[in-house]
Amino acid sequence: MRRRALLGAGAAALGVAGLGWSLLTPKRPGKLLHSRAELPKPFEARLTIPPVHTGDEIVQREADLRILPGLTTRAWTYDGSFPGPTVITRSGRAAALTHRNRLPEPVVVHLHGGHTPADSDGYPIDEIMPERGTATTTTHHDMAAMSGDMTVGSRTYRYPMAQRAATLWYHDHRMGFTGPAVYRGLAGFHLVRDDEEDALPLPRGERELPLMLTDRAFEADGSFRYPAGDPVFMNGVLGDVVLVNGLPWPVHEVDPARYRLRLLNASNARRYRLELDPPPPGGAAFAQIGSDGGLLRQPIGHDSLQIAPAERFDVVVDFGRYKPGTRVRLVDRDGGNVMRFDVTGSRRDDDSAVPPVLSRTAEPLPPPARTRTFAFNQGPDGAWRINDLEYRPGRAVARPRLGEVEHWRFVSDFHHPVHLHLNHFQVVSRNAGGLGAYDHGWKDTVDLRASEAVEVAVRFTDYTGTFMLHCHNLEHEDMAMMADFVVEA
């Protein structure tokens, strides 16, 4: 269904014409979509770790995956797997990666959290058209006349990697179709390493686990169930199956030792409130060591983690605090099981530690050159907007200058994970007060809750050109809650 027709249908269905959409929408985004397939019991699947990418090319193609027992799921994949292969690069070493499109529709690749020049950032109309002979459609959106930097068959993205070690991820970013494309499987980890992090005695090797959290619903035949064109789900799609690294509620055996968990919420709209059950003796189940943009200055202890779509939490869990034989569930207190860790007691060697000082590169930014306010809202037609503007490619809502610091203030009467391209930022205040429990460190996505104001400080460095600010609830993003900003010299 074309976007404007969908918006009109949604407004009419809910009777909001002339009343203002936000008066009738729930304050918590998302609607649950139930599977039609028979679902497995939790903790039957064994956790798998995504393979590490080798070479300089990734092929986007369809693949039949075994996600639910006895059923096959046709997925859109990077190199045939979901999640895609983990790309590992090193700070200060430029990298180039070619994406080849053998899917039936156009794609765009965004390195989320990457400090990347504009021509490799994944602008939503810079499409990679399918290789000739594989396309089933050539339409891309009903918005008026757009001309992006389109290529046919493949595109090479260039990443200078002038940034700190961090947990990044890559995913589709095609305008109007990010939600269904990511839901079908187009997401993968990208880990950046550096000398500062390597010098720390953090858990590594098999005790470093990248964990991608997604939720999905399934049709009776095992295919992904996604409500394309249904206005009831415009606030966000929530599935009834939680997948970790592409498997439903998996289990993983761990030693009584410290483990580093790189937690990524790659769900379209679901927020997680993660806890360990049972909690470890003494509390502070999670020692947070990093955020979206890499290491914190000092570790922060948490009993629970609230993680919005696109956020990453780098944490250490000490399973040595549990007796061998304990089964420790990772649960979402708002939605049930996520996965389970079985403490086996097979290996007790552990020379890792969480140092009291992790990094010295998170100094506060200087006073801003200017402050801007961005209001995330909805119009009476149901379109998600920023500053009352529906997204239009090429229309800039801000023109910061290269090298300057600005404060950007985000306000909303709804719940939005706000994502900024190009540079990481530091949260300055929440509701004109101090930081929230999960606002520390360098971030690229901040959880903006209903009736809140969050102010962030950002310095625009290295690259001029057009970049993006948008909501990372993917259904909101697809329904026009995006904006361009242009960095000028």
Domain that holds residue 441: 370-487
Q: Three-state SS string across 254-315, please?
A: ECCCEEEEEEEECCCCCCEEEEEECCCCCCCCEEEEEECCEEEEEEEEECCEEECCCCEEEE
Residue 210 CA to residue 260 CA, distance in Å, equals 8
* 377 and 326 fall within a common domain: no
Is 359 a domain residue? Answer: no
pLDDT along the chain (489 residues), means of 10: 45 35 52 97 98 97 98 98 98 98 98 98 98 60 59 98 98 98 98 97 97 98 94 94 98 97 98 98 96 97 98 98 96 95 87 96 87 94 91 97 98 95 97 96 96 97 98 96 98
* 33 and 73 fall within a common domain: yes
* 320 and 437 fall within a common domain: no
* Measured CA angle at 285 (ends 284, 287), to 5 deg: 75
Count of structural domains within the chain: 3
Write out the two tokens for 421: 């391209």
pLDDT value of position 148: 84
Instruction: Supply the pTM of this predicted model.
Output: 0.94
Is 363 a domain residue? Answer: no
The set of residues, in sequence order, having a beta carbon less than 8 Å from that of 139 and lying 6+ positions away, is none
Is 361 a domain residue? Answer: no
Q: Are strands 465-471 and 416-420 parallel, antiparallel or unpaired?
A: antiparallel
pLDDT value of position 335: 87
pLDDT value of position 135: 56
pLDDT value of position 5: 46
Residue 395 backbone dihedrals phi, psi, to 5 degrees: -100, 110
**C-alpha distances in angstroms, 220 versus 72, 75, 223, 393, 417?**
10, 15, 7, 39, 32
* 214 and 186 fall within a common domain: no
Residue 338 CA to residue 316 CA, distance in Å, equals 17
Is 356 a domain residue? Answer: no
Q: Which residues of 372-399 are buried (b: 16+ CB within 10 A; e: fewer)?
A: eebebbbbebbbbbbeeebbebeeebbe
DSSP category for residue 476? H
Last residue of a domain, one of 171, 198, 225: 198
Write out the two tokens for 206: 């098999």
Is 304 a domain residue? Answer: yes
Residue 196 backbone dihedrals phi, psi, to 5 degrees: -60, -50
Is 364 a domain residue? Answer: no
CB-CB contact of 453 with 409 (8 Å): yes
* 440 and 339 fall within a common domain: no
* 237 and 324 fall within a common domain: yes
Last residue of a domain, one of 134, 166, 198: 198
* 190 and 313 fall within a common domain: no
* 221 and 290 fall within a common domain: yes
Residue 301 CA to residue 171 CA, distance in Å, equals 30
* 147 and 249 fall within a common domain: no
* 423 and 338 fall within a common domain: no
Dihedral of the alpha carbons of 194, 199, 202, 203, in degrees to the nearest 10: 80
* 324 and 400 fall within a common domain: no
Last residue of a domain, one of 198, 226, 256: 198
Helix, strand and coil percent figures for the chain, each rounded to 5? 10, 40, 50
CATH number at residue 22: 2.60.40.420
* 270 and 304 fall within a common domain: yes
Write out the two tokens for 340: 């389970």
- Residue carrying structure tokens 């962030």: 456
pLDDT value of position 360: 85
Q: Which of 285, 299, 290 shows the shortest CA–CA distance to 264?
A: 290
Is 296 a domain residue? Answer: yes
**How remote is the C-alpha of 371 from its chain's centroid?**
26
